[in-house]
Structure 1
Amino acid sequence: MATNHPVVVPDTNVAKEPQNHGSNINYDIDDVPSWYLCIFMALQHYLTMLGAIVSIPFILTPALCMEDEDPARGIIISTMIFVTGLVTYMQVTWGCRLPIVQGGTISFLVPTLAILNLPQWKCPNKDIIGQMDSVQKTELWQTRMCELSGAIAVSATFQVFIGYTGLVGKLLKIITPLTIVPTVSLVGLTLFSHASETASKHWGIAIGTVFLLTLFSQVLTNVQIPTVYYHKGHGIAIGWFSLFKLFPVLLTIVIMWSLCAVLTATNVLPEGHPARTDVRIKVLHDAAWFRVPYPCQFGAPTVTLAGVLGMLAGVLACTVESISYYPTVSRMCNAPPPPLHAINRGIGTEGLGTILAGFWGSGNGTNTFGENVGAIGVTKVGSRRVIQWAALIMVLQGVLNKFGAAFIMIPDPVVGGIFCVMFGMIAAFGLSALQYVDLRSARNLYILGLSIFFPLVFCIWLKDHPDLIQTGNETVDSTLFVLLSTSILVGGSLGCILDNLIPGTNEERGLVAWSKEMALESTNDETIDKSTFDFPCGMEILKSWKWTRHIPFLPTYKVKV
Structure 2
Amino acid sequence: MVVYGIDDKPPLIESIFLGFQHYLTMFGATIIIPIVIAGALGMPTHEQGMLISTMFFVSGICTLLQTTWGNRLPIVQGGTFSFLPPMFAIVFSAALSGAGWEMKMQYLQGAIIIGSLVEIALGFSGAIGYLKRYLGPITIAPTIALIGLALYAIGWPWLMKDIYIGGIALLALIIYSQFLSRKYRLFLLFPVILSIFTAWVIAFATGRVDTEALRATIDASPWIRIPYPGQWGMPQFKAAFAVGMLAGYLASIIESVGDYYACARMAGAPVPGAKRISRGIGFEGIGCLVAGLIGTGNGTTSYSENIGAIGITRVGSRYVVQIGGIVMILLGAFGKFGAFFTGLPTAIVGAMFCGLFGMIASVGLSNLQFVDLNDSRNLFIIGFAFFMGLSVPFWAKGGWIFADVGAGYPEGFLPPTVQLPINWEASAGIAGRTIAEILTTIAATGMAVAAIIGMVLDNIIPGTRESRGLTYWEKMAEPE
Q: TM-score normalised by the shorter chain: which range applies?
A: 0.7 to 0.9
Give the partner amino acid of 2:348: V
Q: Measure how far apart 1:372 and its partner are.
A: 7.1
Alignment partner of 1:313 out of 221, 231, 251: 251
Question: Using the alignment, how far apart are the partners of 1:165 and 1:217 within structure 2?
Answer: 42
Alignment partner of 2:439 out of 458, 473, 480: 480
Distance 1:162 1:112, change over 3 A: closer
Give the equivalent residue in structure 2 for 1:53.
26
Give the partner amino acid of 2:291: A
The 8 Å contact of residues 217 and 339 in structure 2, kept in 1 or not, is answered as yes
Question: Using the alignment, how far apart are the partners of 1:58 and 1:324 within structure 2?
Answer: 24
Task: Provide the secondary structure at the position in 1 that maps to 2:374.
Answer: coil
Give the partner amino acid of 1:88: T
Question: Using the alignment, how far apart are the partners of 1:317 and 1:377 within structure 2?
Answer: 22
- Are 1:103 and 2:77 counterparts? yes
TM-score (norm 2): 0.78
Alignment partner of 1:245 out of 188, 201, 208: 188
Q: Measure how far apart 1:215 and its partner are.
A: 0.9
Q: Measure how far apart 1:283 and its partner are.
A: 2.0
Task: Provide the secondary structure at the position in 1 that maps to 2:178.
Answer: helix
Question: Using the alignment, how far apart are the partners of 2:176 and 2:148 within structure 1?
Answer: 22
Give the equivalent residue in structure 2 for 1:370.
307
The 8 Å contact of residues 198 and 412 in structure 1, kept in 2 or not, is answered as yes
Greater Cα radius of gyration, structure 1 or 2: 1
Q: Measure how far apart 1:222 and its partner are.
A: 2.5
Question: Using the alignment, how far apart are the partners of 2:247 and 2:29 within structure 1?
Answer: 22
Give the equivalent residue in structure 2 for 1:470.
423
Give the partner amino acid of 1:190: A
Distance 1:78 1:348, change over 3 A: same
Q: Measure how far apart 1:143 and its partner are.
A: 6.3
RMSD: 3.8
Alignment of 1:433-452 (within 5 A): 433-452=367-386
Q: Measure how far apart 1:492 and its partner are.
A: 1.6
Q: After superposition, what is the alpha-carbon deviation per residue over 1:533-559, rounded to whole angstroms, capped at 9, x for unaligned?
A: xxxxxxxxxxxxxxxxxxxxxxxxxxx
Question: Using the alignment, how far apart are the partners of 1:403 and 1:162 within structure 2?
Answer: 37
Give the equivalent residue in structure 1 for 2:17.
44
Question: Using the alignment, how far apart are the partners of 2:98 and 2:19 within structure 1?
Answer: 33
Distance 1:490 1:327, change over 3 A: closer
Of 358-367 and 440-449, more deviation after overlay is shown by 358-367
Give the partner amino acid of 1:63: V
Aligned residues: 442
Give the partner amino acid of 2:124: Y
Give the partner amino acid of 2:463: G
Q: Measure how far apart 1:177 and its partner are.
A: 2.3
Give the equivalent residue in structure 2 for 1:222.
182
Give the equivalent residue in structure 1 for 2:405.
none
- Are 1:295 and 2:295 counterparts? no
Alignment partner of 1:201 out of 149, 156, 161: 161
Q: Measure how far apart 1:512 and its partner are.
A: 1.6
- Are 1:83 and 2:18 counterparts? no
Distance 1:191 1:171, change over 3 A: same
Question: Using the alignment, how far apart are the partners of 1:120 and 1:93 within structure 2?
Answer: 35
Q: Measure how far apart 1:259 and its partner are.
A: 1.1
Distance 1:440 1:115, change over 3 A: farther
Give the partner amino acid of 1:80: M
The 8 Å contact of residues 73 and 405 in structure 1, kept in 2 or not, is answered as no
Distance 1:393 1:279, change over 3 A: closer
Q: After superposition, what is the alpha-carbon deviation per residue over 1:81-106, rounded to whole angstroms, capped at 9, x for unaligned?
A: 3223323333444445x47353216x
Give the partner amino acid of 1:79: T
Question: Using the alignment, how far apart are the partners of 1:501 and 1:397 within structure 2?
Answer: 49
The 8 Å contact of residues 64 and 325 in structure 2, kept in 1 or not, is answered as yes
Task: Provide the secondary structure at the position in 1 that maps to 2:344.
Answer: coil
Q: After superposition, what is the alpha-carbon deviation per residue over 1:53-83, rounded to whole angstroms, capped at 9, x for unaligned?
A: 1011454245326299945454344323322
Task: Provide the secondary structure at the position in 2 that maps to 1:100.
Answer: coil
Give the partner amino acid of 2:366: S
Q: Measure how far apart 1:455 and its partner are.
A: 3.4
Question: Using the alignment, how far apart are the partners of 1:301 and 1:436 within structure 2?
Answer: 49
Question: Using the alignment, how far apart are the partners of 2:369 and 2:455 within structure 1?
Answer: 17
Q: After superposition, what is the alpha-carbon deviation per residue over 1:427-481, rounded to whole angstroms, capped at 9, x for unaligned?
A: 2233232222222222222222222222322322322313424342243333333
Question: Using the alignment, how far apart are the partners of 1:254 and 1:330 within structure 2?
Answer: 29
Give the equivalent residue in structure 1 for 2:403.
none
Q: After superposition, what is the alpha-carbon deviation per residue over 1:13-35, rounded to whole angstroms, capped at 9, x for unaligned?
A: xxxxxxxxxx9979966x8x9xx
Give the equivalent residue in structure 1 for 2:199.
256
Q: Measure how far apart 1:157 and its partner are.
A: 3.9
> In proportion to residue count, which structure has more helix?
2
Question: Using the alignment, how far apart are the partners of 1:24 and 1:199 within structure 2?
Answer: 30
Distance 1:353 1:288, change over 3 A: same
The 8 Å contact of residues 182 and 488 in structure 1, kept in 2 or not, is answered as yes
Give the equivalent residue in structure 1 for 2:387.
453
Distance 1:61 1:341, change over 3 A: closer
The 8 Å contact of residues 23 and 327 in structure 2, kept in 1 or not, is answered as no
Q: Measure how far apart 1:495 and its partner are.
A: 1.5
- Are 1:189 and 2:149 counterparts? yes
Q: Measure how far apart 1:416 and its partner are.
A: 1.7
Q: Measure how far apart 1:318 and its partner are.
A: 0.8
Alignment of 1:403-442 (within 5 A): 403-442=337-376
Distance 1:206 1:261, change over 3 A: same
Give the gaps of 5 or more residues in structure 2: 401-417
Distance 1:189 1:341, change over 3 A: closer
Give the partner amino acid of 2:338: G
Of 320-329 and 446-455, more deviation after overlay is shown by 320-329
Give the partner amino acid of 1:309: A
The 8 Å contact of residues 120 and 286 in structure 2, kept in 1 or not, is answered as yes
TM-score (norm 1): 0.68
Runs of 4+ in 1 over 6 A off after TM superposition: 23-27, 336-340
Give the gaps of 5 or more residues in structure 1: 1-22, 123-135, 225-241, 270-274, 523-561
Question: Using the alignment, how far apart are the partners of 1:408 and 1:364 within structure 2?
Answer: 21
Question: Using the alignment, how far apart are the partners of 2:377 and 2:273 within structure 1?
Answer: 34
Question: Using the alignment, how far apart are the partners of 1:194 and 1:327 within structure 2?
Answer: 26
